[in-house]
């Protein structure tokens, strides 16, 4: 199944609109700390910008490349220099359990409680049209990040020692349209591993009431991000704008109970 060319609704938005504006008072993220994996560029960076526009108290971006993180933090601090949002960058690799442990140990040592976790980091390779001819070790890299890494991050997030009793958490899984596409040419390791974690986190949602942790999995749209640009020609699709107010509009509000 290719990407759809028509819409199931009368209006199809490719950009933000007032109802989901992060500056809307009812969508304020004031008082919340947000952690975004893969937050140094592309989708993750735009997610960070949207949370900053929603007045999040602290935004932590995590990624493997220090140079990318440094550039991202400089941009965020420059754009939001008049805001009260604190921006923190931490190098980390979610495919490595010790790296994940180091990250959460650091947060605990700094007395930082994370209210919202955005699982955005992803492994796209290996690619190929014959999965059974792939090297198993290369194949498993996609599962190490997209399943194992996201699982470990989620477990650490839910079990934070600094979490106040009764405090609801918000966990956001950035999924992909690829898990619904058949065939997904040359993308089996990526789409299969993303589908696997989406299934796992859905079962986790069955186990935890929304008052404990609100879990959202969503397809982010057709975005011409840095990663996509390395594999796909821009003329292939009419791309959506890389703005992430839709995430914030679905989080449980701070000023009323969750139903």
Q: In whole angstroms, give the CA distance from residue 120 to residue 61.
A: 10
Rounded Cα gap, residues 243 and 245, in angstroms:
6
Which regions in the chain score pLDDT beneath 50? 1, 254-259
The per-residue pLDDT for 186 is 81
Q: Is 1 exposed, middle or buried (0-12, 13-18, 19+ CB in 10 A)?
A: exposed
Residue 189: what pLDDT? 92
Residue 19 is predicted with a pLDDT of 83
258, 168 contact by CB (below 8 A): yes
Looking at residue 235, its pLDDT comes to: 67
pLDDT of residue 223: 65
Whether 100 and 152 have beta carbons less than 8 Å apart is answered as yes
CA distance 139 to 126: 6
Q: Give the span between the Cα atoms of 40 and 76, in whole angstroms.
A: 10
User: Cα separation of 76 and 86, whole Å?
Assistant: 10
Give the pLDDT confidence score for residue 151 in this predicted structure: 98
Place of tokens 């609704």: 9
Tell me how far apart the alpha carbons of residues 28 and 26 are, in angstroms, rounded to a whole number: 6
Please tell me the distance from the alpha carbon of residue 110 to that of residue 118, in angstroms, as a whole number: 20
The confidence score (pLDDT) of residue 236 equals 61
What pLDDT shows up at residue 80? 97
What strands, in cross-sheet order, belong to the sheet with 116-119?
86-91, 58-63, 33-37, 116-119, 169-174, 213-218
Structural domains of the chain, with CATH: 26-249 (3.40.50.720)
Q: Are the C-beta atoms of residues 61 and 145 closer than 8 Å to each other?
A: no
Q: What's the DSSP call for residue 215?
A: E
Tokens of 88: 């923190």
pLDDT the model gives residue 3: 55
């Amino acid at each position: 199944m290719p990407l759809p060319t028509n819409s199931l609704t009368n209006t199809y938005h490719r950009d933000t609109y007032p109802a989901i504006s992060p500056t809307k008072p009812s969508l304020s993220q004031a008082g919340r700390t947000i952690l975004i994996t893969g937050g140094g560029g592309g989708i993750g960076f735009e997610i960070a910008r949207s949370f900053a526009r929603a007045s999040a108290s602290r935004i932590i971006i995590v990624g493997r490349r220090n140079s990318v993180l440094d550039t991202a933090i400089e941009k965020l601090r420059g754009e939001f220099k008049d805001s009260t949002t604190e921006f923190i960058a931490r190098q980390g690799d979610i495919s490595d359990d010790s790296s994940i442990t180091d990250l959460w140990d650091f947060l605990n040592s700094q007395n930082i409680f994370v209210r919202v976790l955005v699982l955005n980091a992803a492994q796209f390779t290996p690619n190929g049209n014959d999965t059974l001819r792939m090297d198993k070790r290369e194949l498993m890299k996609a599962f190490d990040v997209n399943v194992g890494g996201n699982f470990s991050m989620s477990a650490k997030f839910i079990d934070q020692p600094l979490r106040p009793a009764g405090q609801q958490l918000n966990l956001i899984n950035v999924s992909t349209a690829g898990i619904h596409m058949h065939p997904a040419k040359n993308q089996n390791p990526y789409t299969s591993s993303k589908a696997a974690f989406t299934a796992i986190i859905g079962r986790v949602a069955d186990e935890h009431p929304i008052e404990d942790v609100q879990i959202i999995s969503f397809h982010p749209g057709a975005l011409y991000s840095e990663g996509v640009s390395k594999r796909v020609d821009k003329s292939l699709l009419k791309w959506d704008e890389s703005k992430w107010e839709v995430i914030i509009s679905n989080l449980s509000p701070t000023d009323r109970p969750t139903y």
